[in-house]
């Protein structure tokens, strides 16, 4: 049990080390959440653009079939 306490005390630097770990963890979680939200937004934008492009592709296909 003493070894665990010594490890957690970080040689007397625990007051500096553990807050840094906590700050890093908070930043990493924030980056993950922001990236996930951005990905979802971009995926919905791509889906909307693809839905707009579908009628155009159908018209292009029909016009190219008529020229054959």
Q: Return d(Cα 10, Cα 67) in angstroms, integer.
A: 78
User: What is the CB-side half-sphere exposure of residue 40 using CA atoms within 13 A?
Assistant: 6
Which pLDDT tens digit goes with each residue over 14-51? 999 999 999 999 999 999 999 999 999 999 999 999 98
Helix (H) / strand (E) element for 68: namely none
Which pLDDT tens digit goes with each residue over 29-39? 999 999 999 99
Count of structural domains within the chain: 1
Which ranges in the chain belong to alpha helices (H)? 2-9, 14-67
Q: Return d(Cα 30, Cα 62) in angstroms, integer.
A: 48
Structural domain span for residue 46: 2-67
């Amino acid at each position: 049990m003493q070894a665990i306490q010594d490890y957690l005390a970080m040689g007397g630097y625990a007051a500096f080390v553990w807050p840094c770990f906590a700050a890093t963890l908070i930043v990493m979680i924030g980056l993950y959440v922001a990236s996930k939200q951005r990905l979802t937004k971009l995926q919905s934008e791509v889906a909307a653009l693809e839905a707009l492009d579908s009628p155009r592709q159908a018209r292009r296909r029909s016009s190219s079939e008529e020229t054959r």
